[in-house]
């Protein structure tokens, strides 16, 4: 995989996303554990606590990779984007089930949040140069 040069702005966003993911992971293991469990859709076939712990491990891994595994930042960005897509059903479930968590205590607030997940996905791809890599590869 070719090395993709990213701008200072992209690198700053990549670092912010990495810190955000590590912070979220800490919440999975500690003070926000119940709130994260409330987001797990009922159709997931394993315990909600297991899902929260597993996703916390994935989040801390992706966060650390966003910060420190810069030689593989394109792959990490793609992996983070895929993760954001995979957890999106939890956000939808929170909206459909009218579940209060993370200060989202109205349907309007939960609906607005749904529009931010695609932005996070795009941010992961842009900040790591994954867009540039994918478009360059297709030429």
Query: So where are the chain's domains?
Result: 8-127
pTM: 0.88
In tens digits, the chain (139 residues) has pLDDT values of: 567 899 999 999 999 999 999 999 999 999 889 888 888 888 889 999 999 999 999 999 999 999 999 999 999 999 999 999 998 888 888 888 887 777 778 888 888 888 998 999 999 999 999 988 888 865 5
For position 139, what pLDDT does the model report? 54
For position 107, what pLDDT does the model report? 81
For position 2, what pLDDT does the model report? 60
For position 137, what pLDDT does the model report? 62
For position 38, what pLDDT does the model report? 83
The DSSP symbol for 40 reads S
Q: Which residues contact 27 (CB under 8 A, 6 or more apart)?
A: 33, 35, 36, 56
> Rounded to the nearest 5°, which phi and psi values hold at 44?
-70, 130
Which residues sit opposite 101 in a β-bridge? 104
For position 87, what pLDDT does the model report? 87
For position 1, what pLDDT does the model report? 54
């Amino acid at each position: 995989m070719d090395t993709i040069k990213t701008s200072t702005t992209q690198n700053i966003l990549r670092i912010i996303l990495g810190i955000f993911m590590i912070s979220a992971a800490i919440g999975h293991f500690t003070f926000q554990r119940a709130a994260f469990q409330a987001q797990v859709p009922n159709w997931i076939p394993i315990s909600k606590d297991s899902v929260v712990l597993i996703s916390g491990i994935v989040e801390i891994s992706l966060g650390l990779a966003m910060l420190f595994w810069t030689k593989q930042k394109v792959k990490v960005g793609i992996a983070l984007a895929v993760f954001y897509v995979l957890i999106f059903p939890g956000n939808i479930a929170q909206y459909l089930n009218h579940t209060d968590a993370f200060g989202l205590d109205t349907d309007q607030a939960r609906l607005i949040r749904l529009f931010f997940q695609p932005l996070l996905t795009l941010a992961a791809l842009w900040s790591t140069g994954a867009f540039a890599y994918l478009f360059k590869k297709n030429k």
